[in-house]
Amino acid sequence: MIQLKLMRLIASTVCMVGLVLSTASGAAHSQEKSPAASQASEIVSPVAATASIATTTAVENPYGLGSLWKTSDSVAKTVLVLLLIMSAGSWYILVVKILEQSKMMRQSKAAAKDFWSLGTFEQGAAALEAGSPYRFMADSAGRAVARHEGLRGHVDLNEWVATGIHRAVDRIQGKTQGGLAFLATVGSVSPFVGLFGTVWGIYHALTAIGISGQASIDKVAGPVGEALIMTAIGLAVAVPAVLSYNWLVRRNKAVMDDVRAFSSELHAVVLGSINKA
């Protein structure tokens, strides 16, 4: 009985060894016979790698702006909306003021060309563009001369005309400064608004750590990323506002220099016209 079992075990072992040897020889034979298959597999592998990279790239960033808006609470959304309003208002004022200043510079050149070449003050005032600051100063000077009567007649005409022109210049200057206060406010306040969002994001990070009991990266990355994005947005709003404010103030100074120069010459022309009359 034992011999029979031993013989069966030997036979089965021989069969298994033969099967392994045949399998190995078949694999070697297949490698020798099919080099094209190995080349095909080498060609396919980069394609598969490229597909995996594309799939990885297509995955949505869990810490981007879209995710920030979806996962943030009402306080963070309010901060983002405020920063968006400040940014939009700053760019709107910048564009409007550039157009206004360019228009005033063009009107200054037209006034220097058309006003002084005419024979009388009335003709020169009529030649100025309607609605321009220079037409407004000329009309103000004309009204001052026409209203120099009654109690106003006790005031020296020179001082009365100078007062009327000076008031017109002050109103023009006040109009040129419109919107600059908003730019100054945005440049001063928006970094602190972004800082508030940063503090709120750090508070969320600490809360997530306290609830989970461990400072794992998945608990901290979202709130800290939110805090950093708030800081970046606050600076992105503040820097253009400050630069725009400084640039517009410098351009306003150049525009008002032309206005004041015209007002001084206008004063002399009005008095000269009255004396000749």
Instruction: Read off the pLDDT of residues 149-161 as tens digits, 9 standing for 90 and up.
Output: 887 777 888 888 8
pLDDT of residue 1: 45
| Among 103, 155, 145, CA closest to 125 | 145
Domain that holds residue 6: 2-57
More confident residue, 91 or 46: 91
Interval 167-197: pLDDT, tens = 999 999 999 999 999 999 999 999 999 888 8
Q: Are residues 72 and 113 in the same domain?
A: yes
Q: Are residues 46 and 173 in the same domain?
A: no
Q: Are residues 101 and 53 in the same domain?
A: no
Domain boundary among 27, 57, 87: 57
Q: Are residues 190 and 262 in the same domain?
A: yes
pLDDT of residue 26: 44
Q: How many CB atoms lie within 10 A of CB 114?
A: 16
pLDDT of residue 102: 94
Asked if pLDDT for residue 76 goes beyond 50, the answer is yes
Q: Are residues 53 and 69 in the same domain?
A: no
The tokens describing 12, both together, are 């089965």
> Whole-model pTM?
0.70
pLDDT of residue 255: 94
Interval 244-257: pLDDT, tens = 999 999 999 999 99
Question: Is residue 214 classed as helix, strand or coil in its secondary structure?
Answer: coil
pLDDT of residue 71: 65
| Among 216, 203, 201, 185, CA closest to 82 | 185
Q: How many domains does the chain have?
A: 2
Asked if pLDDT for residue 112 goes beyond 90, the answer is no
Q: Are residues 115 and 188 in the same domain?
A: yes
Cα 155 to chain center, whole Å?
53
89: CB partners within 8 A, 6+ apart: 182, 186
Asked if pLDDT for residue 138 goes beyond 70, the answer is yes
Q: Are residues 176 and 226 in the same domain?
A: yes
Report the distance separating Cα 132 and Cα 104, nearest Å.
Answer: 8
Asked if pLDDT for residue 8 goes beyond 80, the answer is no
Interval 13-69: pLDDT, tens = 344 434 433 433 443 444 444 444 444 444 444 444 444 444 444 445 555 566 666
Q: What average pLDDT does the structure give for the chain?
A: 76
